Amino acid sequence: MTRAEAQAEAVRRNAEPEASGVWAAQRTPDDDWRVVRLVGGGLRRTRPTGAHVESKPEPAEPSDPRPAIFQNIPPYG
């Protein structure tokens, strides 16, 4: 198997919806290529979770409409 064939097969296996694990092309000691399944902690296929929508920034806090003399006085009552 050539490198291009092994990579194409790995891409095909990774595209299958029910495929488990991650597939990759690996070079063997005799200069041949094969498809191997990668297994290990943290190696999972990531799937899109939905549309990526940019959120709008929060509007600025409005200024206090009270006169300045009453803004910093604690309420008494």
pLDDT of residue 26: 93
Sequence ranges of the domains in the chain: 1-42
Residue 27 pLDDT level (bands cut at 50, 70, 90)? very high
The mean pLDDT of 42-71, rounded to a whole number, is 79
Residue 6 pLDDT level (bands cut at 50, 70, 90)? very high
**pLDDT value at 46 more than 70:** no
Q: What is the SS3 string spanning the chain?
A: CCHHHHHHHHHHHHHCCCCCCEEEEEECCCCCEEEEEECCCCCCCCCCCCCCCCCCCCCCCCCCCCCHHHHCCCCCC
pLDDT digits (tens, 9 = 90+) for 28-45: 999 899 999 887 776 666
